[in-house]
Structure 1
Amino acid sequence: VPLARGLGSSAAARAVGTAAGYALRDGGLPRREELFQAVAGGEGHGDNAAAAIFGGVRVCAGGEKDHHCWPVPIAVEPEVLLVIPDVLLETSRARAALPASHDLPSIVANLQNLALLLSGLGSGNWDAVKRGCHDRIHEPSRLGLIPGLEEALRELRRQPALAGAWLSGAGPALAAFVTDTRGADSAASSALLALEGNGIAAMATTLSINTTGIELKVLA
């Protein structure tokens, strides 16, 4: 997992390290809920920990010491296109870019978009997913940190082969659901060109959604 790209590398590393520690001590993995609490506690939030441990799509809630997550049923499991700029964006810098408060219309819009996203994933309504992937809370402040990133995101959102595109985590990676694999390469190229036109090298890859979560494999 590339570091400092908004892809959850710290949670993935913490999950693997914690799981390995349990395996060495106990000869196997603990209950996933126990592992999740340990990793989320170290991270300070549960979103990336849930993805690393349980896989699939999850919603999370809780504070520093009390973490919860639940699975989100999805009607179809699309592939996910990632566009990963070759530049580091430390989480601390991305967090510092956020304003101290937000206006009520933006908060309401984000809540509406979240409802659309969850409904669309559960029903297979890609128009709802596409609308639900728009954000007014953190993307406006963070997209400007990397030259060409906002333009690249616009390119992804206008591609017919994709349904919904967003800034992954704190960035700078971009992600999008692929609904037509035949058009994935040209969609990725449009975003890469937008970044390269601003002097930012990047790579693109398409991945499937892991639904099994963390596993222990003993190599002979």
Structure 2
Amino acid sequence: MIMRTVCVALACLWGAGAVHAHDALLDAALARTAVAPADVPGTIRVTSTVFGGDTPETTSESIDPKKEPKKALPSYAELKDVIGADAHVAGQSGGRTTYAFTTRHVPRGFSQAGSVSVSMDGKDDEETFDGRAEVSNDAGGKPYVSHVDLRLQAPSGNWLAKVKKLDLSYAFEPDTTRPDAMLATAMDVEVDVRAMLFVHAHARANARLVRTPAAPSP
């Protein structure tokens, strides 16, 4: 079971899944090699904002995925389980193809904004998400999944805490030093949660990969 924890004060929720796609273009994109999270060249810059008080509360931090692997951006390899067999073409424009799908699998990841935290362990669960995936071509003309957006279909939780809204967005692109290998470059989270009937918080978190500059040639 995927463990997705959304916490406000002492309130916690659990919560996301899918099978494999069967579209030729999408399968080719999903077959691309993934850079292992431990090999990602750089740090992750996270900016978070919590709304609900007198003024928005904004914080930022820099994460080294090698030292804090649980906070690394998702691996491209996880997309094979996120995008399922019901994926179908929803549109084509500018050389990009967009697929729509539903899923109960959310990529592993972690994000925190003040007292609100969202964590996913990358396994299946009961909540269903509406998803959209964009397939683009790299410089060599090979397809890859460049963006994935997920939206929780219905509120989830109980009287103690309820997630009213959960939107997740991911961006991927080829590694600059290994063009055939894909890595995540961004993750956005937007969550609206109520706890114990009277606590309400709306939070956004934006994580961006800050690449380590390449060493100069001798």
TM range (shorter): under 0.3
Q: Which has the higher helix share?
A: 1
Q: Which has the higher strand share?
A: 2
Q: Provide the TM-score with structure 2 as the length reference.
A: 0.25
Q: Provide the TM-score with structure 1 as the length reference.
A: 0.25
